[in-house]
Structures are given as structure tokens and as C-alpha cells.
């Protein structure tokens, strides 16, 4: 039996690394170096959607007090903060990230349990949480199939999955606007406001992964294939995507 071919979120991007084998190290190093500026640039990046959008998305998938959350690719804790506000218990939210720099930053900001690890190999027990969340990091995994099976494994029966993303708009006019905003304006503003060349690289990389990402339909099907029921995707403004699923 042939091994399963990885379902990559996007092809190799040679402007940043020579081949896919080098991508994990590139991504980890880039986020390590830009962690202290990430919140600042995210405020520019999110079009003002901010905390209200993340909180509403968490509530839509059924998060409530008494539930346990594993926030994968926690970054600086933007999704985790809203999960804490809903559950009312900082111990109910566990953060995971591959980047030590991001974990150092969120450790300074939030008093929650933190784990360094890969999304494709979650270092937690089976059926340990009620919700797996991930904010704007889907494009950085190595294999969507493996990642979604891991998310399914760690959820309790009836548990929910929530993945927030930005996707390429359907119309050419909106794509052109987004490409200018994310591919040119935000990298420039990031460089000017932080003085860090790596911020400019991060934002250019962010756009290139959006532009080359697999279609939403492919992501939803991969969620279903991992064993999730009620898999789907909510779309807002032809830009924001909230992928969801529930473990039967």
C-alpha cells in the first residue's frame, strides 16, 4: 500500500525557502523573530475585525463556561483571550505553538498553560478537550489531512473544531485590492512602524500563502475525511473564513 500523499495547503514558495522540507524551519524562525511585533501588525491586518469577530466565532461553535479549549498555533493569544473571556477560566484554555518566540510573548501576556509542539503531532492525550481552535495558521501546516486527524483525536465526543482564516476573494477586483493591501501596503507599514525587515518579509509571506492556498472546498473535504461531522465554512465579506466541524 502506497503511503498517503500529503495534502499541502500551498505549494513550495521558492522566494522564501528552496523546497518544502525547509518550510518548517523558515516559518518557525520567521515567527520567532517577529513575535514581539505581531499584535501591532495584526491590528492592521485584521481590517478592524478584532476581538468581536473571534469571540462571535467561538460562541457560534458552542463554546461556553465549563469547556476546555486547545488553541493551536496560539501566536500571541488573540483567539485564546476571547476563549478565556467566554469560559471565565484561564486554566480551561491551553495554548500550543511551534514558535518559542510566540510562546514567550503569550506567556508575558496571559497566565495560561502553554506547550511547544507541532500541529501535526499534538503532544496531548486523546479526547482531552471540548474545542480545538486555530487562528490564521492553517496555511503553515505541512499536511492538512494529518493535522485534521490530530485535531479529531484530541477532541472529546461532541467536541468542536474552529479554524479562522483569510482567503483569496472570488472576484478579480477584490483580489487586486487585497493583494495591494496585504502584499504591498501592510508589509511597507510593518517595516516603517517597527523598523524590522523581518516584519516586511512576514507580511509578504502571509499574502503569498493566501494567494496560493488550496480552495475552501478542499479544506472542508479534508475536515470531513478526518472524521468530522457537520463540516463546513462560514464566509464573510468574501474574505474571512470560519471552518468548523464536530466530532461524532
Q: What pLDDT is stored for residue 87 in this prediction?
A: 96
Q: For the chain, which residues make up each domain, given as ranges?
A: 25-45+169-212, 49-167+214-247
| Mean pLDDT per 10-residue segment, the chain (248 residues) | 80 90 91 84 64 93 97 94 94 95 92 95 97 95 96 98 92 87 78 77 89 96 96 91 96
Q: Supply the pTM of this predicted model.
A: 0.92
Report the phi/psi class of residue 233: left, alpha or beta, with left for phi > 0 and alpha for psi in -120 to 50.
beta
Q: What pLDDT is stored for residue 169 in this prediction?
A: 87
Q: What pLDDT is stored for residue 126 in this prediction?
A: 97
CB 210 within 8 A of CB 167: yes
d(CA 56, CA 62): 10
Count of H helices and E strands in the chain? 10, 7
Question: What is the total residue count of the chain?
Answer: 248
Q: Which residues contact 242 (CB under 8 A, 6 or more apart)?
A: 57, 60, 162, 163, 164, 165, 233, 234, 236
Q: What pLDDT is stored for residue 1 in this prediction?
A: 52
Q: What pLDDT is stored for residue 180 in this prediction?
A: 87
* CATH architecture observed for domain 49-167+214-247: 3-Layer(aba) Sandwich (3.40)
Q: What pLDDT is stored for residue 72 in this prediction?
A: 97
Amino acid at each position: 500500500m502506497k503511503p498517503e500523499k500529503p495534502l499541502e495547503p500551498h505549494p513550495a514558495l521558492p522566494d522564501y525557502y528552496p523546497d518544502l522540507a525547509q518550510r518548517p524551519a523558515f516559518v518557525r524562525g520567521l515567527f520567532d523573530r517577529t513575535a514581539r511585533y505581531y499584535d501591532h501588525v495584526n491590528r492592521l491586518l485584521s481590517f478592524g475585525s478584532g476581538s468581536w469577530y473571534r469571540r462571535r466565532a467561538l460562541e457560534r461553535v458552542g463554546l461556553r463556561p465549563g469547556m476546555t479549549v486547545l488553541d493551536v498555533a496560539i501566536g500571541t493569544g488573540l483567539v485564546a483571550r476571547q476563549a478565556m473571556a467566554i469560559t471565565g477560566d484561564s486554566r480551561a484554555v491551553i495554548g500550543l505553538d511551534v514558535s518559542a518566540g510566540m510562546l514567550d510573548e503569550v506567556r508575558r501576556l496571559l497566565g495560561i498553560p502553554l506547550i511547544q509542539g507541532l500541529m501535526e503531532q499534538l503532544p496531548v492525550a486523546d479526547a482531552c478537550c471540548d474545542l480545538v481552535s486555530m487562528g490564521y495558521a492553517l496555511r503553515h501546516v505541512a499536511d492538512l489531512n494529518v493535522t485534521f486527524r490530530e485535531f479529531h483525536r484530541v477532541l472529546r465526543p461532541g467536541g468542536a473544531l474552529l479554524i479562522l482564516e483569510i482567503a483569496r476573494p472570488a472576484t478579480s477586483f477584490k483580489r487586486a485590492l487585497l493583494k495591494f493591501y496585504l502584499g504591498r501596503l501592510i508589509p511597507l507599514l510593518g517595516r516603517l512602524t517597527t523598523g524590522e525587515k523581518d516584519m516586511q518579509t512576514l507580511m509578504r509571506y502571509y499574502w503569498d500563502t493566501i494567494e496560493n492556498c488550496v480552495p475552501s472546498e478542499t479544506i472542508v473535504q479534508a475536515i470531513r475525511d478526518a472524521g468530522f461531522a457537520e463540516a463546513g465554512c462560514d464566509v464573510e465579506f468574501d474574505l474571512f473564513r470560519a471552518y468548523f466541524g464536530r466530532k461524532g
